[in-house]
Amino acid sequence: MKTLCPFGTHRVIEPQGVLPQAADKIDATPVCYDNEIMIDVDVLNIDSASFHQIKEACQHDESKMKDMILSIVKEKGKMQNPVTKSGGMLIGKIKEIGKNIKDSKIHVGEWIATLVSLSLTPLIIDEILSINLENEQVKIKGTAILFETGIFEVIPKDLNQKLVLAALDVCGAPAQVKKLAKPNDTVLIIGAAGKSGLLCSYQAKKMVGIHGKVIGLVNEESQKDLLIELGLCDDILLMDAKKSLDVYQAVSHLTNHKLADVSINVVNVPNTEMTSILATKDNGIVYFFSMATSFTKAALGAEGVKKDVTMMIGNGYTKDHAKITLDILRESKVLHDYFMKRYV
């Protein structure tokens, strides 16, 4: 008889002694143990950094991407990109509930979105039905396991399922912005036109008030046009986020050399750590939500330029993060309509 662990270590195959996220391989056998929930999976939402890497490696070929995703899941027992080490999340219908799960709000047949990473979620894919290259969603037939400590959200009846999936995949970011941004702050959003960037820009604008400033950084003209259309930023920089000195000088100019109080990095490409750090004032806050972030580059880079900033790793969980993010889509018609058009 297996000794069941609330964190799911009873599913770890190798190496022994680590938690499922750090494991190279986990057991995805579709059996629901007493402290688990088994899910019939409908859609995987691969995280942006991982999806971008897979898409580029497969030269945007959907058939090759299917093969790569199937290979990763078969080898690891979970959807954890071996390059980015990240995963994503899923939506599906509850198939079975272990007898030790005490949660009155769920029942078999309930549609839920998992709020823990696919990089630790036992998963079997029977078939990949389609891959949407635009919204990072992969429709499958398969089975997943949620551990008793795994958080999830019941799909609300007033919002579209795929809309909820797209938003909840990044719900930790805008919820953290709500905690970090203060009235009158200057907030820099690096990658402001992406899914998390738009939600963060909206939340930052709400927090800083009329005397604060939100600066959005994007690298395509169409992204700049989108931010103008949605009205989420006070200033928009059309620049390459990897060119740290150029961005630093531009932010310095916009802020009368004061720089940003808070910088939020949500881009899906590497080598933007120093851009975030240089553009932030001493004693300011840099929040790295991007899965492409290198701790080494950030830590040693800040030291190398004599920058005293507080750097935060993008914890995907903070209290009420799902509610905060879904409420943004309820509050903002322009964001709701854009997300419906883009992700549904």
Q: Dump pLDDT digits (tens) for 252-308.
A: 999 999 999 999 999 988 899 999 999 999 999 999 998 888 999 999 999 999 999
Residue 167 lies in a domain: no
State whether 178 and 151 are in the same domain. no
State whether 248 and 142 are in the same domain. no
Task: Show which of 107, 122, 155 is a domain's final residue.
Answer: 155
**What's the number of domains the chain is made of?**
2
State whether 282 and 142 are in the same domain. no
The CATH number linked to 336 is: 3.40.50.720
Residue 300 lies in a domain: yes
Residue 331 lies in a domain: yes
Task: Show which of 121, 155, 189 is a domain's final residue.
Answer: 155
Residue 285, SS3 per DSSP: strand
Q: Which domain holds residue 143?
A: 9-155
Contact status, residue 54 vs residue 2, Cβ threshold 8 Å: no
CA–CA gap between residue 114 and residue 147 (Å, rounded): 11
* 4 CA to centre of own chain: 29
> Quick one: pLDDT at residue 189?
98
Contact status, residue 193 vs residue 215, Cβ threshold 8 Å: no
State whether 15 and 145 are in the same domain. yes
State whether 250 and 318 are in the same domain. yes
State whether 330 and 190 are in the same domain. yes
State whether 148 and 179 are in the same domain. no
Residue 1 lies in a domain: no
For residue 128, what are its two tokens? 């990949």
Residue 42 lies in a domain: yes
Task: Show which of 110, 130, 155 is a domain's final residue.
Answer: 155
pLDDT beneath 70: ranges in the chain: 1
Q: Examine residue 15 and say whether the peptide bond preceding it is cis (omega within 30 degrees of 0).
A: yes
Task: Tell me the pLDDT tens digit for each residue of 66-109.
Answer: 999 999 999 999 999 999 999 999 999 999 999 999 877 789 99
> Quick one: pLDDT at residue 318?
87
Question: Element (H or E) spanning 65, and its range?
Answer: helix 62-76
Q: Match 């190398």 to its residue by tokens.
A: 304
State whether 183 and 328 are in the same domain. yes
Residue 56 lies in a domain: yes
> Quick one: pLDDT at residue 166?
86
Contact status, residue 189 vs residue 200, Cβ threshold 8 Å: yes
> Quick one: pLDDT at residue 1?
56
State whether 140 and 232 are in the same domain. no
Phi, psi (5° rounding) for residue 229? -65, -40
pTM summary value? 0.86
State whether 151 and 270 are in the same domain. no
Instruction: Give the residue from 140, 167, 152, 149 showing the smallest Cα distance to 73.
Output: 140
Instruction: Give the residue from 33, 32, 10 showing the smallest Cα distance to 20.
Output: 10
The strands making up 36-46's β-sheet, listed across from edge to edge, are 123-132, 137-147, 36-46, 88-97, 111-114, 152-154
State whether 57 and 136 are in the same domain. yes
Residue 163 lies in a domain: no
The rounded mean pLDDT for the chain is: 94
Could you tell me where the beta strands, DSSP code E, fall in the chain?
A: 12-14, 25-26, 36-46, 88-97, 111-114, 123-132, 137-147, 152-154, 186-190, 213-218, 235-238, 260-265, 280-288, 310-313
Q: Residue 1: what residue type?
A: M
State whether 118 and 189 are in the same domain. no
The most distant pair of C-alpha atoms in the chain lies apart, rounded to whole Å, by 66
CA–CA gap between residue 63 and residue 48 (Å, rounded): 19
Residue 210 lies in a domain: yes
CA–CA gap between residue 286 and residue 316 (Å, rounded): 15
